[in-house]
């Protein structure tokens, strides 16, 4: 028998979450962001659940090829654009749309020989200071691109740094609106946090009028059943469902007396007699080693807590709430139990001091994963 750990990708939940994102998007078209192998879910495994998308946005050219190999004929967007000139050949061949965020990418396009002009997304650095042209350079970049025969259509794009927090998007929207006011073309804005939190006020008022109307939005994490602004809000608040379940079984139990300690470093000591279960899941499976004693976990669908340090292949659970649990009992590290209860990935991430994104992306290749 194989080691009992496995991950399940929930097609119906992906469909549900995508529909939720579409509702928030109003009339805008919606990219399903599937970078990082669909946030660790596997591009092939999410495809069925996300095929209602208007396009797929990603970073790696080989991921773009995989989406085309699945039969997708609609838009695909390279969110970081191309990395070297020959990437443009693949863009021509596979009809990939690509972000242009720096002069070097315009240089590459200017040298590129193509039959079919490209659709590009010109990125403005409106305050995040990661990728994109500074506001003062943006119109110059647009003019240069617009003059190239290699370019068919230019979409205007920016990315928000604080959509999930108190600073919000107003300042960046104001910058973007001011610079792009009289430029033609569609607009692409909004990750999950901006889409869920700021669609209403959105895109919003600048000097009292609608400043920017998004034609395309780019939700990622919300589609994968994680709240972009946890812990302020959880997935229930946003009407999202878990799309990834990481589950295993108990492979041992131990009866402790008061004073017994558990695991490497003996970081947990039993204050009284207690029963613990040993689950076949550790950091080599992608479960964060930084999860301390008290991290939530479901045993037979009932909420319990971890005790002691997470090892490479195992972790320990206080079986107090589930006295009937034993060898073979179902352990849900995140996602949904077969009893119908949920443990949002965000709660486990928070215990480890990180975000749901990191946990789903870190699901280890050794964990057998299937779509259901
Ligand atoms: C990753 C990414 C997104 C999606 O962000 P989420 O927070 O996962 O919704 C949107 N736009 C760009 C440019 C990205 O890189």
* HSE-CB for 248 with a 13 A CA cutoff: 25
Is position 135 within any domain?
A: yes
100: CA distance to ligand 1 center in Å? 16
Handedness of CA 198, 200, 201, 205 (dihedral sign): positive
Closest C-alpha to 276, from 324, 316, 327, 332:
316
Residue 198 beta carbon below 6 angstroms from any ligand 1 atom:
no
**What end-to-end distance do the CA atoms of the chain give, in Å?**
21
**Residue 205: predicted pLDDT:** 47
Q: Is 286 in the pocket of ligand 1 (CB under 6 A)?
A: no
Ligand 1 close to Cβ of residue 79 (< 6 A): yes
- Residue 162 alpha carbon to ligand 1 centre in Å: 12
192 lines ligand 1 (CB under 6 A): yes
Q: What are the φ/ψ torsions at residue 359 (nearest 5 degrees)?
A: -70, -45
Q: Running DSSP on this structure, what letter comes out for residue 315? A: E
Q: Is 163 helix (H, G, I), strand (E, B) or coil?
A: coil
Q: What is the CATH number of the domain that holds 322?
A: 2.40.37.10
Cα(191) to centroid of ligand 1, in Å?
5
Provide the domain count of the chain.
2
Based on the fold, state whether residues 35 and 104 are members of the same structural domain.
Answer: yes
Q: Which atom of ligand 1 is nearest to the CA of 192?
A: 9
Which residue minimizes the CA distance to atom 10 of ligand 1? 191
294: left (phi over 0), alpha (psi -120 to 50) or beta: left
Q: Is residue 123 part of a domain?
A: yes
Annotated binding site for substrate: 130, 312
Q: What's CA 319's distance to the chain center, in Å? A: 32
Same domain, 256 and 217: no
What's the confidence (pLDDT) of residue 210? 54
Phi, psi (degrees; rounded to nearest 5) at 357 = -50, -50
Q: Say which CATH number the domain at 167 has.
A: 3.20.20.10
* In a shared domain, residues 53 and 128: yes
Per-residue model confidence as pLDDT tens digits over 47-58:
999 999 999 999
Q: Are 37 and 64 in contact (CB under 8 A)?
A: no
Which residue among 229, 255, 286 closes a domain? 229
Whether residue 228 has its Cβ less than 6 Å from ligand 1: yes
| 223 shares its domain with 289 | no
CA–CA distance, 342 with 255 (Å, rounded to integer): 28
- The answer to whether residues 279 and 212 belong to one domain is no
- Residues 29/215, Cβ–Cβ less than 8 Å: yes
Domain that holds residue 101: 11-229
**Among 20, 79, 156, which residue has the most ligand 1 atoms within 8 Å of its CB, making it the best to mutate?**
79
Out of 39, 47, 224, 264, which one is annotated catalytic? Answer: 264
Tell me: do 65 and 184 sit in the same domain.
yes
Same domain for 38 and 163?
yes
Do 115 and 49 fall within a single domain?
A: yes
- Contacts of residue 304, Cβ cutoff 8 Å, sequence gap at least 6: 296, 297, 298, 317, 318, 319, 320, 321, 322
- Residue 245, exposed/middle/buried by CB under 10 A (0-12, 13-18, 19+)? buried
Looking at the structure, do residues 308 and 221 belong to the same domain, yes or no? no
Q: Render each residue's pLDDT in the chain as its tens digit; 372 residues.
A: 889 999 999 999 999 999 999 999 999 999 999 999 999 999 999 999 999 999 999 999 999 999 999 999 999 999 999 999 999 999 999 999 999 999 999 999 999 999 899 999 999 999 999 999 999 999 999 999 999 999 999 999 999 999 999 999 999 999 999 999 999 999 999 999 999 999 865 454 444 455 688 999 999 999 999 999 999 999 999 999 999 999 999 999 999 999 999 999 999 999 999 999 999 999 999 999 999 999 999 999 999 999 999 999 999 999 999 999 999 999 999 999 999 999 999 999 999 999 999 999 999 999 999 999
Residue 218 Cβ inside 6 Å of ligand 1? The answer reads yes
Of ligand 1's atoms, which has the minimum distance to the CA of residue 219? 9
State whether 355 and 268 are in the same domain: yes
- Is residue 264 annotated as a catalytic residue, yes or no? yes
Give me the residues paired with residue 337 across strands: none
Tell me the chain's radius of gyration from C-alpha atoms. 23
Q: Which of 184, 202, 229 represents a domain boundary (last residue)? A: 229
33 touches ligand 1 (CB under 6 Å): yes
CB–CB of 211/204 below 8 Å?
yes
Q: What are 296's strand-pairing partners?
A: 305
- The answer to whether residues 264 and 352 belong to one domain is yes
In the block, tokens 């495809």 appear at 47
Atom of ligand 1 nearest to the CA of 221: 8
Angle (CA) 223 226 230, round 5°: 140
Both 203 and 73 in a single domain?
A: yes
CA–CA dist 247, 109 (Å, integer):
47
Contact predicate 286/315, CB 8 Å: no
Per-residue model confidence (pLDDT) at position 206: 47
């Amino acid at each position: 028998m194989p080691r009992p750990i496995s991950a399940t990708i929930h097609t119906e939940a992906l469909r549900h979450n995508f529909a939720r994102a579409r509702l928030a998007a109003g009339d805008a078209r919606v990219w399903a962001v599937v970078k990082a192998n669909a946030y660790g879910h596997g591009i092939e495994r999410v495809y069925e659940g996300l095929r209602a998308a208007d396009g797929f946005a990603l970073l790696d050219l080989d991921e773009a090829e995989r989406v085309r190999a699945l039969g997708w004929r609609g838009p695909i967007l390279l969110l970081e654009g191309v990395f070297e000139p020959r990437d443009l050949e693949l863009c021509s061949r596979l009809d990939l749309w690509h972000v242009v965020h720096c002069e070097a990418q315009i240089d590459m396009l200017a040298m590129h020989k193509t039959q079919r002009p490209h659709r590009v997304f010109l990125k403005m650095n409106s305050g995040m200071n990661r990728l994109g042209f500074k506001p003062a350079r943006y119109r110059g970049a647009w003019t240069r691109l617009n003059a190239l025969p290699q370019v068919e259509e230019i979409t205007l794009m920016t990315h928000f740094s604080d959509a999930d927090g108190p600073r919000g998007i107003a300042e960046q929207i104001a910058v973007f609106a001011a610079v792009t006011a009289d430029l033609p073309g569609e607009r692409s804005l909004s990750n999950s946090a901006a889409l869920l939190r700021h669609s209403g006020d959105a895109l919003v008022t600048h000097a009292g009028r609608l400043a920017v109307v998004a034609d395309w939005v780019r939700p990622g994490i919300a589609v994968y059943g994680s709240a972009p602004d946890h812990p302020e809000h959880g997935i229930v608040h946003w009407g999202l469902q878990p799309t990834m379940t990481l589950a295993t079984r108990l492979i041992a139990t131990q009866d402790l007396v008061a004073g017994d300690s558990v695991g490497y470093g003996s970081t947990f000591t039993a204050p009284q007699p207690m029963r613990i279960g040993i689950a076949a899941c550790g950091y080599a499976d992608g479960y964060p080693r930084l999860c301390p004693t008290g991290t939530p976990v479901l045993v037979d669908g009932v909420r319990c807590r971890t005790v002691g340090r997470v090892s490479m292949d195992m972790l320990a659970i206080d079986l107090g709430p589930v006295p009937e649990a034993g060898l073979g009992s179902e352990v849900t590290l995140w996602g949904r139990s077969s009893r119908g209860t949920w443990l949002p990935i965000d709660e486990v991430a928070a215990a480890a001091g990180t975000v749901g994104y990191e946990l789903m992306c870190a699901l280890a290749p050794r964990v057998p994963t299937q779509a259901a």
